[in-house]
Amino acid sequence: GQNIDQPTEMTATEGAIVQINCTYQTSGFNGLFWYQQHAGEAPTFLSYNVLDGLEEKGRFSSFLSRSKGYSYLLLKELQMKDSASYLCAATDSNYQLIWGAGTKLIIKP
């Protein structure tokens, strides 16, 4: 079957660094997306990885290991506005997205 696993909730301190992990099992693989979703709002696209390695975008970076079925999202210099859920979604062989349940990130001052 197809499955995405990520932690349900994480807590971090303002100004610190946090890493949110995601493991996936899909029928075929055509890349992995990370989205941010504030409570009651629509998910918004953060990053996309299809090759192994690290993609950096400002304070956010995303890493992929295809052989391990593993990705992480790294958030640096945390701000209060980063409090949100972070959704991991893997693309299968038909380019369909398989979604994780999301990781709720709580930032404390």
Partner 1 sequence: DADVTQTPRNRITKTGKRIMLECSQTKGHDRMYWYRQDPGLGLRLIYYSFDVKDINKGEISDGYSVSRQAQAKFSLSLESAIPNQTALYFCATSDLVQRWTGVSNQPQHFGDGTRLSIL
Instruction: Catalog residues that contact partner 1 under the rule CB under 8 A.
Output: 8, 30-31, 33, 35, 40-45, 48, 50, 87, 89, 91, 95-97, 99-102
Among 94, 93, 49, 103, which Cα is nearest to 71's?
A: 49
Nearest-approach distance from CB 90 to partner 1, in angstroms? 11
**Smallest gap, in angstroms, from Cβ of residue 16 to partner 1?**
26
Q: Tell the smallest beta-carbon distance from residue 37 to partner 1 (Å).
A: 9
Residue 31 or 76: the one with the smaller Cβ distance to partner 1 is 31
Long-range contacts, 47-51 (Cβ 8 Å, 24+): 47/73
d(CA 108, CA 13): 5
Nearer of residues 8 and 67 to partner 1, judged by Cβ: 8
Q: Measured from the CB atom, is 40 or 109 closer to partner 1?
A: 40
For residues 8 and 104, the answer to whether their CB atoms sit within 8 Å is: yes
- When the beta carbons of 94 and 109 are compared against partner 1, the nearer one is 94
Check if the beta carbon of residue 106 is closer than 8 Å to that of residue 18.
Answer: no
